[in-house]
Chains A and B, each alone.
Chain A
Amino acid sequence: MTLTGAIDCDIHPGVPDIKALLPYMDAFWQESFVHRGLDGFEMMSYPPNAPITCRPDWRIQGQRPAANLGTMQAQALDPFNIGLAICNPLTGGQVSVSESMGAAICSAVNDWIKEHWLDKDRRLRASIVVPPQAPMLAVEEIERCAADRRFVQVLMPVACEMMLGRSYYWPIYEAASRHGLPIGLHAGSMYRYAPTSTGWPSHYLHDYVSQAQTFEDQILSLISNGVFNKYPDLKFVMIESGVTWLPGFIWRAIKTWRGVRAEVPWMKRSPADTIRENIRLTVQPFDTPPGDADAVERIIEQIDSDQMLLFASDYPHWQFEGDAITPAGLSPSLLQRIRIDNPLDTYPRLKETVA
């Protein structure tokens, strides 16, 4: 197909209730969910009625946010002139304490999204949602889905049961590498630990804001644990991270590495180089004062790479007003890179379908 608009690297179809997922489950899980009366697996990271979860003018009474394709087309794909969009379903399957139940929900979501979204709009692609609670089951799910080239990424929540650099997770990275799939880390937590290193805050707002720190933690974990030594071509995409924490984080990472690099002798390059090569970030939200082009420009200068940022709406999450979908003050050439070139470079499978 000919690409006629921007590539949206973070869009959220509303994952339905368990009843709608039952057709994509085996008999055991169908009976389990029905017999046990189990439903309501929406993540604490996005309470369904919280303001962040759906922009007010996109909420439809009695429906989940972005509940169906028609709504997404009318509210996002058409008005924002989206050429391709990567669906990132946010599902409780990814945070379940049960490995097998989590895997069952994730698999169902992947099949559901093929049938109800990918098959019905040629602009749509999707991430494979996997249960990071069980890396071997996650690998099985990648193997099951990867043959469908419309799956372009493996999706995990940014806060899991261990730091993501740990070798426990490397089978997931091996499978992703082999299939040309980047790993997307999306805001959201399994809540196995307190959301902050100083305990449990009183407010969702605090939880949400502090997730920028978890993105930093994970980048540092991936680099210092040698993930990119093992998988040098693997890209990790930080999705809905806020972005503007990145320069200060890089400065500190360089300084700390200079001081104690002998602890991690395989870290032969400055972490700044690895970050610029292997880490990508979606640009909604972009945490600067609204409309402050100077602040945006300063952050862009400090990031000092035109390769790292990926266009995203984060629809239907409430990150911007009206049609102010990109940060203020980006140059036309950088906008072109963010909207088209960088997504194509990051997601090899997108290139296959674009003329």
Chain B
Amino acid sequence: MNAPVDLAAPRLETTQTLGIIDCDVHPYPRAGALNPYLSERWRKHVFEYGKFNCGIYADRGTYPRFSPNTCRRDAWPPGGGLPGSDVGYIRDQLLDPYNIAYGVLEPLLGGNTSRNLDEAAALCSAMNDWQAIDFVDVDPRLRASILVPQDDPPAAIKEIEKRSGDWRFCQIQLGSKTSEPLGRRRYWPIFAAAVEHGLSIGLHIGGTQSSAPSASGWPQFYLEDHQVLSHSMQNQATSLILEGVFDAFPTLKVVLIEGGFAWAPTLGWRLDNHWAKMRDEVGALKRKPSDYMKTNLWFATQPVEEPEHPEDLRKIFDWIGWDRMMYSSDYPHWDFDDPHLAFRFQMTETEKRKLFRDNALDVYTFR
């Protein structure tokens, strides 16, 4: 985080030839960058009404962040524009120095959280064009996410079909906060389309604010919101499992991005224990709940948990499985994880290859 880097700390050496895959790179638009990809009708609409979401402010998030644009203070491009808006600077600051083979773009621009489903569809489509043309075409190490208006499944499927044959897209992105828990049947057509087109689903932390951050309402501080956001990820995992999504779509791959992972073992234990007593309620799960965490879920690591005893992190990796953990940096956000510094325990070469590269190659559709 923003603590000074301890240069004396053990560094995790990755070989220059490894070619890291970074599952979480955030692109931002230069002023007006989306306009060429919106029709006149939607340009006017977005200008007048903004992205009509469930928040309290017209054009900013509910919880004031702790750095401008939630970004590293050194990530502002010298040539102007927002961090993450200049491919050249992403190249200089991220792709080249860390030898990133692929960086998965995860736009967090509120396209799919508009309450107006037609606006959501227009924005998602525009942001998909924008990622492909303004980013991937400029540096093909960057790969795009298919944004979809998930509350309008027919429109979402149309967008998936439009992009699935395009090599520039490598996954479907959904948020960890959706209008309903993701396992609910309204979202199943999207899972069917993902499986049909061989695309994984990346659940990035955040999304709509149609539900309060807690069952007890609204926290007061960003400090609280930032931490409890990870609960939305736990709930998406729980919902997908208990609703039988992975029984219906056994090959569906879901990547949980920026939602933490130290909670995974205890959530698995808790689900198993209480499912054992109440399994009749949830219909015919073929296996115990935690089993699905080890066959259908993958975890992007940033922000890496920092146990008081660093070796405890290995135990979490061991439980989840070394074939399910994937490195992510969250560039250019303030809580960026440097691949050399983020993991404070020793790994074998095999473990490093899985974490920094091979697992992502198994999950994503890089073409």
A residues at B contact (CB < 8 Å): 50-52, 158-166, 189-190, 192-206, 208-214, 216-218, 220-221, 224-225, 242, 244-245, 247-264, 272, 285, 287-290, 295, 298-299, 302, 304, 318
Known contacts A189-B215, A289-B272; A198 and B178 CB within 8 A of each other: yes
19 A-B residue contacts at CB 8 Å?
A158-B215, A196-B232, A199-B181, A201-B238, A206-B181, A209-B270, A211-B215, A213-B228, A213-B235, A217-B219, A221-B216, A221-B219, A225-B221, A253-B227, A257-B223, A259-B226, A260-B66, A264-B221, A302-B307
Please tell me which one of the listed residues B180, B215, B238, B263 contacts residue A214 in the complex, with CB atoms under 8 A apart: B215
Rounded to whole angstroms, the CA-CA distance of A208 and B166 in the bound complex is 42
Question: Is residue B324 within 8 Å, beta carbon to beta carbon, of the partner chain?
Answer: no
Q: Distance in Å from the Cβ of B68 to the closest Cβ of chain A?
A: 14
Q: Distance in Å from the Cβ of B63 to the closest Cβ of chain A?
A: 10
Known contacts A193-B215, A220-B224; A259 and B1 CB within 8 A of each other: yes
Rounded to whole angstroms, the CA-CA distance of A211 and B234 in the bound complex is 11
Please tell me which one of the listed residues A164, A189, A212 contacts residue B270 in the complex, with CB atoms under 8 A apart: A212
- Please tell me if the beta carbons of B214 and A199 are within 8 angstroms of each other in the complex: no
Question: Is residue B95 within 8 Å, beta carbon to beta carbon, of the partner chain?
Answer: no
Q: Which of B9-17, B31-39, B273-281, B355-363 forms part of the interface with chain A?
A: B273-281
Q: Distance in Å from the Cβ of B246 to the closest Cβ of chain A?
A: 15
- Total of A-B residue pairs, C-beta within 8 Å: 249
- Further 12 A-B residue pairs, CB within 8 A, beyond A210-B235, A221-B224: A196-B231, A197-B211, A198-B207, A206-B242, A209-B271, A217-B224, A221-B219, A225-B220, A247-B307, A251-B262, A251-B308, A302-B307
Which chain B residues border A299 with CB–CB below 8 Å? Answer: 266
Question: Is residue B334 within 8 Å, beta carbon to beta carbon, of the partner chain?
Answer: yes
Rounded to whole angstroms, the CA-CA distance of A239 and B306 in the bound complex is 27
Please tell me which one of the listed residues A51, A165, A221 contacts residue B278 in the complex, with CB atoms under 8 A apart: A51
What 4 A-B pairs come out closest when comparing CB atoms?
A248-B262, A259-B1, A217-B214, A159-B215
Please tell me which one of the listed residues A205, A217, A248, A260 contacts residue B216 in the complex, with CB atoms under 8 A apart: A217
- Please tell me if the beta carbons of A248 and B239 are within 8 angstroms of each other in the complex: no
Question: Is residue B184 within 8 Å, beta carbon to beta carbon, of the partner chain?
Answer: yes
Please tell me which one of the listed residues A163, A203, A245, A259 contacts residue B219 in the complex, with CB atoms under 8 A apart: A163
Question: Is residue B218 within 8 Å, beta carbon to beta carbon, of the partner chain?
Answer: yes
Known contacts A199-B180, A252-B262, A302-B312; A220 and B219 CB within 8 A of each other: yes
Please tell me which one of the listed residues A192, A195, A197, A209 contacts residue B213 in the complex, with CB atoms under 8 A apart: A197
Rounded to whole angstroms, the CA-CA distance of A209 and B215 in the bound complex is 12
Which chain A residues border B315 with CB–CB below 8 Å? Answer: 298
Question: Is residue B338 within 8 Å, beta carbon to beta carbon, of the partner chain?
Answer: no
Which chain A residues border B176 with CB–CB below 8 Å? Answer: 198
Q: Distance in Å from the Cβ of A330 to the closest Cβ of chain B?
A: 17
Q: Distance in Å from the Cβ of B191 to the closest Cβ of chain A?
A: 16
- Please tell me if the beta carbons of B303 and A245 are within 8 angstroms of each other in the complex: no
Which chain B residues border A247 with CB–CB below 8 Å? Answer: 262, 307, 312
Interface centre among B207, B232, B269 (most CB of A within 10 A): B269
* B176, closest chain A residue (CB): A198
Which chain B residues border A196 with CB–CB below 8 Å? Answer: 181, 211, 215, 231-232, 235
Please tell me which one of the listed residues B3, B220, B274, B308 contacts residue A258 in the complex, with CB atoms under 8 A apart: B3
Known contacts A244-B269, A255-B305; A194 and B222 CB within 8 A of each other: no
Known contacts A163-B219, A217-B214, A285-B273; A197 and B278 CB within 8 A of each other: no
Q: Distance in Å from the Cβ of B155 to the closest Cβ of chain A?
A: 20
Rounded to whole angstroms, the CA-CA distance of A251 and B312 in the bound complex is 10
- Please tell me if the beta carbons of B211 and A199 are within 8 angstroms of each other in the complex: yes
Q: Distance in Å from the Cβ of A55 to the closest Cβ of chain B?
A: 9
Interface centre among B214, B232, B236, B263 (most CB of A within 10 A): B214
- Please tell me if the beta carbons of B215 and A195 are within 8 angstroms of each other in the complex: yes
Rounded to whole angstroms, the CA-CA distance of A206 and B240 in the bound complex is 11
- Please tell me if the beta carbons of A198 and B260 are within 8 angstroms of each other in the complex: no
